[in-house]
Structure 1
Amino acid sequence: MKVGYIGLGRMGRGMALNIIKAGYDLVVFDRSDDAVAALVAAGATAADSAGELTKSVDVVFTSLPGPPEVEAVVLGDDGVAANITQGKVLFELSTSSRSLALRIHDELSSRGAAMLDAPVSGGPAGAESGDMAFWVGGDRDIYEQYLPLLQSMGDKPRHCGPIGSGLIVKLVNNIAGHMIMSSLAEIFSTGVKAGVDPLELWDALRLGVVGKGSPLNMLTKQFLPGQYEPAAFALKLAYKDAMLATELGRDLGVPMRIANTAMADMLEALNRGDGDKDCRVYLGLQLERAGVSIAVDPDAIAAVLNE
């Protein structure tokens, strides 16, 4: 199998090197001559353009900064789409837009080729070490066919669903991180202004329920199955605690926008008569606004947790 790799930046370089280490025949292209030279020195062959590379390989990987670069390289003149032929595959690894991924998929499908969106998570260090997640959307049979190649670059590939699913997971993962960090900044600004040393606060919070585990694991018994009775901790008690925390913020003159938003939803759920249900019941209000329903089989959740 001949593999092509376009985009040898901080992420792409490490992944491309791992493809070579796994014994694959690799062709590379990048606008940076120095980036290409480093891969050629490691055993790759250089192509003069994205189109030339596409013609010469069986499968193409693109790792680019964002949608404008992806569109130019894949759909532009002498790009991937213009030169791909029937039976070839493109794995698009960039953090890009779902709508663009769907356009590329449709264009390549019309040419008898395939495209899977496969954004990655792990950072440059993970790209180099292979400690890397690939979230893949698209044809599952094609994913399975190329799984060993994906595993040569990262140890955690996962098929997430139809085309676009990989990007959906990547984008919500990224914004989740920023939202969590924003809430932590609000928490620390309150605790430190109240007089607690920031290192002591951080170390103490690690011992609590939130600090000891992933916030995602706090969703497994109530939110994911949609079961809020019996309560592990009642909403009316959680609301009391939230009131005390925001009162502290007001006393100190600390803005608590995220806390106040959560409290507004908690109060709405209380006014619906949900005070004795589990404190996470108010999360269902966001699902209602979005027009979605979540009710995962508890046995299926347990199976994932036990993997």
Structure 2
Amino acid sequence: MKVGFIGVGSIGNPMAGQLLRAGHELLVHDIRREAAASLLARGAAWLDSPAAVAAASEIVATCLPGPKEMEQVVLGPKGILEGVRKGSLYVDHTTNSPLLVRRVHDLLAARGVDMLDAPVSGGTEGAQTRDLLVMVGGEGRVFERARPVLDALATRVIHVGAIGCGSVCKIMHNCASFTLDLTMAECWTVGVK
């Protein structure tokens, strides 16, 4: 399958590498071309804009620092929305705002493009070893369509509900993790005293 991947930083790079390992044809873009060097050396193709990646891909994925970056990559000049083709699929792996995800979904749906929000948990090491948890929001038929790509990325891929639900689950997961970390720090402090 021809897959575009935008955002090949510390987590996106090893995720994109898993797609190459699984035999997908990979097209990449990042604000820093050097971030893609290892992928290009392994056979990925570089394209000069998110629009170009979207135009050439069956499925285009993003893994970006946050909502602001995702909004720019999708809706900004030379963004995904400019290049995406009717019938294609967009998968966002960004830890994102459910409201933004739903807005982007609606804009893409109006053009005949499917979307999933599929944030990940497991960090760089998890991305390198496929030991990620992928929390996927979107229609069931779209989830099944994306399975070959999602399964290449991770051993734990869970469909959690409608569009935006992946982002809600990731935010809840982060809150629980941070709360547990804080609680354990307090427990150790009490134990030392």
TM-score normalized with structure 1 length: 0.62
Report the RMSD for the aligned CA atoms in angstroms.
0.9
| Deviation, structure 1 residue 37 | 2.2
- Which position in structure 2 is the counterpart of 1:133? 133
2:185 aligns with: 185
Task: Give CA-to-partner distance per residue, 1:135-156, whole Å, 9 cap, x none.
Answer: 0000111111221211111110
Paired position in structure 2 for 1:67: 67
**Per-residue displacement from partner, 1:229-276 (whole Å, max 9, x unpaired)?**
xxxxxxxxxxxxxxxxxxxxxxxxxxxxxxxxxxxxxxxxxxxxxxxx
Report the Cα offset of residue 55 of structure 1: 0.5
Does the Cα contact within 8 Å between 2:115 and 2:142 map onto a contact in 1?
no
- Determine helix, strand or coil for the equivalent of 2:11: helix
**2:98 is matched with which residue?**
98
The equivalent of 2:153 in structure 1 is 153
Q: SS of 1:10's equivalent?
A: coil
SS at match of 1:126: helix
Measured after TM superposition, the shift of residue 192 of structure 1 is 1.1
- Structure 1 distance, partners of 2:180, 2:132, is 22
TM-score (norm 2): 0.97
Q: Deviations over 1:106-125 (max 9, x none)?
A: 11011110111000011100
List gaps (5 residues or longer) in structure 1: 194-307
- 1:39 deviates by 1.0
Instruction: Tell me which protein shows more helix as a share of its residues.
Output: 1
Distance 2:9 2:130 in 1: 16
Task: Kindly report which structure 2 residues correspond to 1:162-181, keeping only aligned pairs within 5 A, or say none.
Answer: 162-181=162-181
* Aligned mates of 1:148, 1:53 — CA distance in 2: 19
Instruction: Determine what percentage of the aligned residue pairs are the same residue.
Output: 40
Matches within 5 A, 1:228-243: none
Moved over 6 A (4+): none
Which structure ranks higher in relative contact order (CA pairs < 8 Å, sequence separation ≥ 6)? 2
Number of residue pairs matched by the alignment:
193
1:189 positional shift:
1.6
Q: Give the structure with the higher percent strand.
A: 2
1:1-307 matches, cutoff 5 A? 1-193=1-193
The structural deviation recorded for 1:84 is 1.1
* SS of aligned partner of 1:28: strand
